[in-house]
Amino acid sequence: MDTRVIQLLMELRKQGIGDTRVLAAMERVPREQFVAEQFLKHAYDNIALPITQGQTISQPYVVAYMTEALKLTDRMKVLEIGTGSGYQTAVLARLSRRVYTIERYRSLLTTAEKRLNELKITNVVTKLGDGNKGWIEQAPFDRILVTAAADTRPDGLIAQLSPNGGIMVAPVAVNTTEQDVIRYTREGDDIREERLLPVRFVPLLPGIAREAAT
């Protein structure tokens, strides 16, 4: 195994990531295939990195933390809001039955699809669309992961959770400058909220994006 991967996994353990399945998934997904060429030397640094369209590939710790917070099993149907580079998608795919992922930038989605195909990850279904609306045709979902920050509690997505213990993990704005990862657990009409971790994500925006020049 690449020594950089070993070092990253050791760092994640030190930071409190204890789920061995999540760590194994992080080990199996080659992060260097999801970062821009100019950042390859930083592929296994525990930092976020820029990708096109003003987006980022999240810090490995945040990916591992949010994935662990989902409490995934390999029988679960997962919705991901914000495909981005496809890195988080690939990690989720290693841990669940099927991942449905939505991206508002066509160019990002096309590149992510190519990367997932190259890794022979076949349990992912992609869609170009507005993540705020979720994927109503495929609801309910056992788990939902949101990788952009909502201004308020994303009730439209919560409605697409399974009412039998469905869990959503999402960054949500606390005020104009702060965001927290919040875990929502749904039992029937009862929604339990747990504030987990301060973070910094790009905003969850409506609609399909007009592409920025690259």
Buried b (16+ CB within 10 A) or exposed e, 189-205: eebeeeeebebebeebe
- The sign of the CA dihedral 145, 151, 156, 162 is positive
Q: Is 58 a catalytic residue?
A: yes
**d(C-alpha 142, C-alpha 164), whole Å:** 8
Active-site hit among 58, 96, 107, 162:
58
The Cα–Cα gap between 77 and 144 comes to 9
φ, ψ dihedrals at 21, nearest 5°: -70, -40
Q: Give residue 207's region: left, alpha or beta (phi > 0; psi -120 to 50).
A: left
| Beta strand segments in 23-153, E | 49-50, 56-57, 77-81, 98-103, 124-128, 143-146
> Which residue matches tokens 């096109």?
52
Say which residues have a Cβ less than 8 Å from residue 78's Cβ, sequence separation at least 6.
70, 72, 92, 96, 98, 99, 100, 141, 142, 143, 144, 145
Catalytic residues: 58
